[in-house]
Structures are given as structure tokens and as C-alpha cells.
Amino acid sequence: MAKLIGISGSLREASYNSALLRNAASLMPKGAELVVETIRGIPLYDGDVETQEGIPARVTELKETIAAADGLLLVTPEYNNSIPGVFKNAIDWLSRPDSDIKRVFGGKPVAVIGASPGGFGTILSQDAWLPVLRTLRADFWAGGRLMVSRAQTVFNQDGTIADQKVEEQLRKFLEGFTAYVAAGRNTRMP
């Protein structure tokens, strides 16, 4: 069974991106599992803290979870036409020390999706992730894109997807990414 880790880049309780992630976990194809993780509890990156106190426990826990997974799904909001600072901060911590980058991210299949109240979805945020993922030497899956625009009309009050078209797009995206992860599981070098 392919095990994927999904992380929402929002801390908001009623986040559209967290709702998108929860829906993704419930729509996974047979033979795959998506475990929902959180960046909650990760402090602002501070090199002095890293030097004096080491890597925070929450960062270590999440880093080990990602390293053990077959793939990673980043569900990104878009703030000011780019990556939310809190999400980038979490990835910055997860890449410390830099000797762990290869173990945690190197060759790891990663896909990016997102939801936004605006009309363009999260296209600029998703594009902004590309150089970050390239630097981490992650295996970015470019076989599909999912940018949920006008998210306030897509989700019900309880966070379930009200728009069947979006639900089907999410299902197809997950099928494609999961197939990519499964196809490469035995051929990727550790």
C-alpha cells in the first residue's frame, strides 16, 4: 500500500486548504492511504535556536513521518501571490540540518494543490513552490494540476465538497499522483 503524507499550509480552523486535504484523504484510490499532518506547533525558524537547542520535537516528528512516506502532498494557500510564510517556514525547518534534505525530500514524489477564494486558484503559489522543491531535490509530479478557485462556493459549511466537478477533479488528481508514486516505488533509489 502506498502511504502518502498530506500537509495543509494553513493554520486556520476553517481553512479551505485543510478542507481540501481532508476531502483528499477520503477520496484516495484503493491501495493508497493519505495521512493528514499539520504544521501546527512548528516555531519560526531561528538559526540560533537550532544551534543552541537543536531541532524542535514537532519538526523531528514531522520530518520522520515524511521520510518514511512514499509521497508528499502539499496543499497550499496563496498569500500575496506566493507561498504562505508559515508553510515555507515549516519546510525550512524540515530541511534542517541540511544533511537531512536527501533523506527527507530527495527523490520523494511531491504534488501540490490548493484552494483560494480568488478567481485564479493558487496558480502563483503553486508555481512558487517549484524552485523550493527543486532545491530540495524532490521529485515533483507535474502530471496534473488542481487549483480550486472561488473556494467559498465549492465547500459546504462542514468542509465537504459541494461541487461535484471539483470532487471529480480531485479524485482524478489523486489517482494520477498515486499511480506515479506506485510506479516509482520500486525503481527509485533510496
Per-residue pLDDT, 183? 93
Looking at residue 184, its pLDDT comes to 84
Q: Which residues contact 84 (CB under 8 A, 6 or more apart)?
A: 9, 10, 76, 77, 78, 125
Task: State mean pLDDT over 20-46.
Answer: 97
Q: Are strands 32-37 and 2-8 parallel, antiparallel or unpaired?
A: parallel
User: Up-side HSE of residue 88: CA atoms within 13 Å toward CB?
Assistant: 13
Summarize pLDDT for 45-80 with one digit per residue, the tens: 999 999 999 999 999 999 999 999 999 999 999 999
**What pLDDT is stored for residue 190 in this prediction?**
46
The per-residue pLDDT for range 10-22, each reduced to its tens digit, is 999 999 999 999 9
| pTM of the predicted protein model | 0.95
pLDDT tens, residue by residue, 100-143? 999 999 999 999 999 999 999 999 999 999 999 999 999 999 99
pLDDT for 187 equals: 59
Question: Distance between CA 83 and CA 123 in Å, rounded?
Answer: 10
Q: Decide if pLDDT at 3 tops 50.
A: yes
Looking at residue 189, its pLDDT comes to 46
Query: Up-side HSE of residue 57: CA atoms within 13 Å toward CB?
Result: 0
CATH 3.30.465.10 fits 8-163, yes or no: no
Q: Can you give the pLDDT at residue 186?
A: 53
% of the chain surpassing 70 pLDDT: 97
The string of pLDDT tens digits covering residues 143-188 is 999 999 999 999 999 999 999 999 999 999 999 999 999 998 655 5
Question: Domain residues of the chain, as ranges?
Answer: 8-163
